[in-house]
Amino acid sequence: MSIFARLLPLLLALVLAAPLVAQTPLQDVLQANRVEVANPSRASVGQVLAALREADAPGTSEFLRQWQDRMVVEDPATGLFHVSLEVEGRQLALIDLDSGAEIGRVSSRDVIPIRPNAGVRREIGAALVRFELSAPDPSRRLAALEAIARSPDADQIPLLESAIPDESDADIRARKLRLLDLLNARFATDTGQRIAAIKGLSGDVSTEARRVLNQILATEPGLAPTLPTDRNIARVLIAGQHLSPHEAYDRLVAAGLAPARPERNTLRDALLAHVADGAVAGLPLHRLSDPAARIEAYGVLQAQGLVPPLVGEADIAATLAGYVFFDTYLEPDPALTDAARAALDQTATRLTLFQWMAISLDALSLASIFFLAAIGLAITFGVMRVINMAHGEFIMMGAYTGYVVQTVIPDYTVSLIVALPLAFVVAFGAGVAMERLVIRHLYTRPLETLLATFGMSIALQQLAKNIFGTQAKPLTAPDWLAGAISLNDVVSISTIRVAIFVLALIFLAALLIMLKRTRLGLEVRAVTQNPGMAASMGINPDRINMLTFGLGSGIAGVAGVAIGLYAQVTSEMGANYIVQSFMTVVVGGVGNVWGTLAGAGLIGFLQKGIEWFNPSNTLAAQTFMVLFIILFIQFRPRGIIALKGRAAGE
Amino acid sequence: MTLINRPPVAPTAPILAEGMAKVPPRRGFLRENPSLPWFLGLLTIFTLMVSVLSEGLGVGALSTSMVKIIGMTLCLCLIAIAMDVVWGYCGILSLGHFAFFGLGGYAIGMWQMYARTEIVIRDSMAGGVLPPTPAEVSDAVAAQIFGVVGSLDLPLIWSFAHSLPAQLALVVLVPGLLALVFGWLAFRSRVTGVYLSILTQAMTLALALYLFQNDSGLRGNNGLAGLQNIPGLLDVPQAVLSVWFLWASALALGLGYGLFAWVVSGKFGSVIRAIRDNEARVRFLGYNVEGYKLFVFTLTAIVSGIAGALYYPQAGIINPAELAPIASIYLAVWVAIGGRGRLYGAVIGAASVSLLSSWLTGGGAPNIEIGAFRLMWADWWLVLLGVGFVAVTLFFPKGIGGLFDKLVRKQP
């Protein structure tokens, strides 16, 4: 503190005038204080540090670190200071302080090592932190703050305090204040100061704030005949309510206050230890496969005083009655733990809110993926009543198109811009071809389109495997899509998922406009509702069917590029989505864009919701989701949004 | 208006009885099913031939693994005729029958695994000084079976695993009850057509996902293994055992064929075919359509379970991947290629496609050199199957079995 008080005006001047002052090389500054550098003492080191700070030569903080680590040596011939690095043998490599270049190798006997003592090293360390905390470069200041956050310690409080007043950057200043609170909450000597700091942390959902509060609230288990009054009790545990009688008893055993409970093999091992002449306690061995006989034999051994009595449930209950179980805080002061508990409770409310937000965002992104995967299917299924089992393969086709484009165009952004429309074109073409060649002939036999398209599906999958191999292919997102957008430590979502969400929105809007505002959309809706009547109004259902199938397939292709960006591209990737896509369509209701949206939303939120209850087990979540869908169809067999009127009767 | 709005009157019993009285007298069972004696005869001859050629009991021209493949194929034929009845005759395209097949396999596999592990454990414990208690044995068996999924306790569903009769009952009961409950839920809410297909597929997916979990009590994706060893028959060599299983599979197939031939003939058969062709009309005639569908669905599920219980001891291993939805779709493919609506068609389809598939993907077939290009059957078989399947659907909706019609009609 005292050093700092003297230096404050100087430092201020330095920060303000830094660009104007010509920088002096480090060696010159050190040579000006030769004696103090070579033989540092606690009293004299302050002078050197002040001079170093004044000069602000490049490499100063690096030098301070090396000085602290006893790596600096003095060359007796020239009187210059160098950094020494040990090379093989007893050789030292000397490195020039200013240039960082190696100037030669000497024996360790030819140089004078500089060995600052512990007190001096602490001073240097503090100066180093202070030096970095008030460095002119904001990124260095931030780095110093992160270093403090990583390994907090009581000594850093005064250093941090002193670096706050002249902080010019508002963000870094806030960060410094927050870090000071974190340090104070844990290390301040004055209870009032600590409580104030703890209060300052309430409602902060960042992991570091919660970690500090939880550290203050750390507990250890305790037990005693009666509840002690001199300890800071976190909570009293009642055996049978907060912990099972066995757990409570095991705590007693661990404390050496009760004999151990019999384990699985206690009885057998005791009997085995007393086998004599083919019998235990007079009972022949062959009878001892009966549990009752074993207990009888043990009873005999016990009566002879050869084995300790078995601890039964009644013994456990009787022993437990004599003790109180509790958790105590490691922190002895109740005022502090109360404050921390209150702060944490306040955080908990906000935390729950943010967690809900995080889950909703997750669910939303999953829903948009389902929507993208299913909307093409919904169109073909809705308009043509055709179950397209090969829909997943159009997704795959789109993803592979993206992969191929990336191998041709190395720039990821450009290749993505090319791949999206190209995937649409490729899948559209494949869809139209399939409609013309296969599906057209099966309109009167809907169940058989299911089989024929399944045949196409296995053929296309194997074809992709033959062409691209079984290895998963990467489809790399451009850098601007690679990061994550994070609101705080709880809520963060990867940019790619946001992009998929936006893509889903664009598709929704485009489809709605296409269906409601264009001639083609009108014709598609007419054919959906009544193909016969539409045909008699001059619409060519054949053409509409072909275009619709192509459109649905094309959308699947684009969805494939989007899905491929965050999952890998394999020949089976489409098959992974096909069942979910069908369920989305069926749950949502056939032949309606809004229905698919509702279905995707329901399934996405449901899956994430179930995962939230049991986060370790996504398989269970999927199982329950499928079960829910089966039940849901019981109550709304035509989906959430069902077509009404004659069209629904098919 | 009153006329139009009058609720439809359900036909009453006398009307039905009167209508039935006019039906011409039924032909004999065998005359309605001319394929049955042919099929049973061919099956018997085939089984005897394989037995004579087998390594275990005959001259040894067929290896044990080949006999096993033939036995397994017979089981697949059995589930295929079940699929044919539910789909080809009753019009329910179920994409879930392989799940019932798998459940049957799991039910028998649980007993095999438990009983065999118990024998091993008892042998290893026999060397100890103290004879083990029943609890110690079952603990050790549980630890042995479930150690691989990090558990030491026997799950509740293994309560009957020590008893062969109980597990044999479960082979029938588990698929039967599941089909009954699922079918009741689905049919009563009038889920039909492609919706029903997707729903059955969802059921299969849910079951497979459930079984993939380690805490499902069925060893997660490890499945049950070592099923080729039959507890109690451990001294019998596999070569002989394979022939016994071949006989059992052939017997089951023959009985199944007879049972289904009986089910689809007569009045019952007419009703379920009518349901396939026009469900609403049958309902308006007063038939309890849901009851008929439920019966067919459940009966075929039970037969599928039995087929699975015979299949997996020959395959030796069962894991949840066997129940994946794709397997049930392949089942539909076999039946469609063989020819729907005729039992022998299903048998032909299942046998030819599954044998061809294992021959071509197993490297049995020679690769074809076309100039610089080399056609690898293992790579191209699925492409061929897919395209061939599309072609069958488009050009031969009656499948291979349709060829028989032409033969029969040419010689009236």
Q: Are residues A429 and A485 in the same domain?
A: yes
Kindly provide the residue ranges of all beta strands, DSSP E only, lying in A407-459, ordered along the sequence.
none
Q: Are residues A455 and A383 in the same domain?
A: yes
pTM of the model: 0.77
Question: Which residues of chain B are within 8 Å of residue A617 when distances are taken between CB atoms?
Answer: 213
Q: Are residues A523 and A592 in the same domain?
A: yes
* Residue B26 within a domain: no
Query: What is the predicted pLDDT for the residue at A9?
Result: 53
Domain count across chain A = 4
Q: Are residues A383 and A514 in the same domain?
A: yes
Average pLDDT of the segment spanning B159-187: 92
Distance CA A97, CA A73 (A): 11
Cross-chain Cβ contact A447/B93 below 8 Å? yes
Q: Are residues A20 and A87 in the same domain?
A: yes
Domain count across chain B = 1
B412 pLDDT above the threshold of 60: no
Range of the domain at A254: 219-329
DSSP state of A243: B
Percentage of chain B lying above the pLDDT 90 cut: 39
* Residue B15 within a domain: no
Cross-chain Cβ contact A446/B380 below 8 Å? no
Contact call for residues A459 and A441 (beta carbons, < 8 A): no
* Residue B350 within a domain: yes
Among A122, A145, A161, identify where a domain stops: A122
pLDDT in tens, B127-165: 777 788 888 888 888 888 888 887 777 888 888 888 899
Bridge pairing between strands A283-284 and A81-86? unpaired
Among A96, A122, A148, identify where a domain stops: A122
* Residue A334 within a domain: no
Q: Nearest-CA neighbor of B329 among B318, B337, B341, B319? A: B337
Contact call for residues B296 and B109 (beta carbons, < 8 A): no
Residue from the list B93, B129, B390 with its beta carbon closest to the beta carbon of A272 = B129
What tokens appear for B128 in the block?
Answer: 């100890």
Q: Nearest-CA neighbor of A17 among A53, A59, A47, A61? A: A53
Average pLDDT of the segment spanning B85-110: 93
Contact call for residues A409 and A417 (beta carbons, < 8 A): no
pLDDT in tens, A230-253: 888 888 888 778 888 888 888 888
Sheet strands side by side (includes A81-86): A102-107, A91-96, A81-86, A72-74, A112-113
Q: Are residues A497 and A383 in the same domain?
A: yes
Q: Are residues A210 and A227 in the same domain?
A: no
Cross-chain Cβ contact B202/A288 below 8 Å? no
Tell me the pLDDT of chain B averaged across its residues: 85
Distance CA A613, CA A629 (A): 18
* Residue B42 within a domain: yes
In 3-state terms, what secondary structure has residue B44? helix
Distance CA A642, CA B195 (A): 13
Residue from the list B139, B336, B383 with its beta carbon closest to the beta carbon of A462 = B383
Cross-chain Cβ contact A442/B133 below 8 Å? no
Sign of CA dihedral A498, A504, A505, A506: positive
* Residue whose tokens read 């005759």: B89
Contact call for residues A350 and A203 (beta carbons, < 8 A): yes
Distance CA A47, CA A29 (A): 11
The 3 state secondary structure assigned to A584-623 is: HHHHHCCCCHHHHHHHHHHHHHHHHHHHHHCCCCHHHHHH
Q: Are residues A97 and A209 in the same domain?
A: no
ipTM: 0.79
Task: List all residues of chain A from 369 to 398 with a beta carbon under 8 Å from chain B.
Answer: 385, 387, 389
* Residue A127 within a domain: no
A483 Cα to chain B: minimum distance (Å): 32
Average pLDDT of the segment spanning B28-33: 75
* pLDDT confidence band for B174 (50 / 70 / 90): very high
Q: Looking at residue A596, which CATH number applies to its domain?
A: 1.10.3470
* pLDDT confidence band for B43 (50 / 70 / 90): very high
Containing H/E element for B227? none
Kindly provide the residue ranges of all beta strands, DSSP E only, lying in A489-576, ordered along the sequence.
492-494
Q: N- to C-terminal Cα distance for chain B?
A: 55
Amino acid of residue A204: D
SS3 content of chain B, % helix, strand, coil (to 5): 75, 5, 25
* Residue B266 within a domain: yes
CB-side exposure of A492: number of CA atoms within 13 Å?
Answer: 10
Q: Are residues A510 and A420 in the same domain?
A: yes
In 3-state terms, what secondary structure has residue B21? helix
Among A297, A329, A361, identify where a domain stops: A329
* Residue whose tokens read 């085995």: A272
- Calculate the CA dihedral of residues A378, A384, A387, A390 and round it to 10 degrees: -80
* pLDDT confidence band for B46 (50 / 70 / 90): very high
Q: What angle do CA A522, A528, A529 make, to 5 degrees?
A: 95
Q: How many Cβ atoms sit within 10 Å of the Cβ of residue A407? A: 9
Spatial CB neighbours of A118, under 8 Å, sequence gap ≥ 6 = none
Distance CA B88, CA B303 (A): 16
SS3 content of chain A, % helix, strand, coil (to 5): 65, 10, 25
Cross-chain Cβ contact B393/A455 below 8 Å? yes
Q: How many Cβ atoms sit within 10 Å of the Cβ of residue A315? A: 15
Distance CA B199, CA B99 (A): 13
Q: What is the mean pLDDT of each run of 10 residues along chain A (650 residues)?
A: 50 45 68 79 80 76 79 81 78 80 79 81 79 78 80 78 79 82 82 83 81 85 83 81 83 84 78 79 79 83 82 82 86 84 86 88 89 86 79 93 91 90 95 91 80 89 89 85 78 85 90 90 85 88 89 91 86 82 82 85 87 74 80 78 56
Q: Are residues A388 and A241 in the same domain?
A: no
Q: How distant, in Å, are the alpha carbons of A52, A284, A304 from that of A14?
A: 12, 95, 89
User: Does A438 contact chain B (CB < 8 Å)?
Assistant: yes
pLDDT in tens, B312-362: 999 999 999 888 888 888 898 899 888 888 889 999 999 998 888 888 877
What tokens appear for A421 in the block?
Answer: 């429309």
Q: Are residues A204 and A230 in the same domain?
A: no
Query: What is the predicted pLDDT for the residue at B23?
Result: 53
B97 pLDDT above the threshold of 50: yes
Question: Which residues of chain A are within 8 Å of residue B205 when distances are taken between CB atoms?
Answer: 579, 622, 626
What tokens appear for B274 in the block?
Answer: 């009518």
For residues A442-462, one letter each, b for 16 or more C-beta atoms within 10 angstroms of the residue's C-beta and e for the rest, the string is beeebbbbbbbbbbbbbbbbb
* Residue B356 within a domain: yes
Kindly provide the residue ranges of all beta strands, DSSP E only, lying in B137-268, ordered along the sequence.
224-225
Q: Are residues A151 and A178 in the same domain?
A: yes
* Residue B28 within a domain: no
Range of the domain at B178: 34-407
* Residue B13 within a domain: no
Q: Nearest-CA neighbor of A596 among A367, A423, A427? A: A367
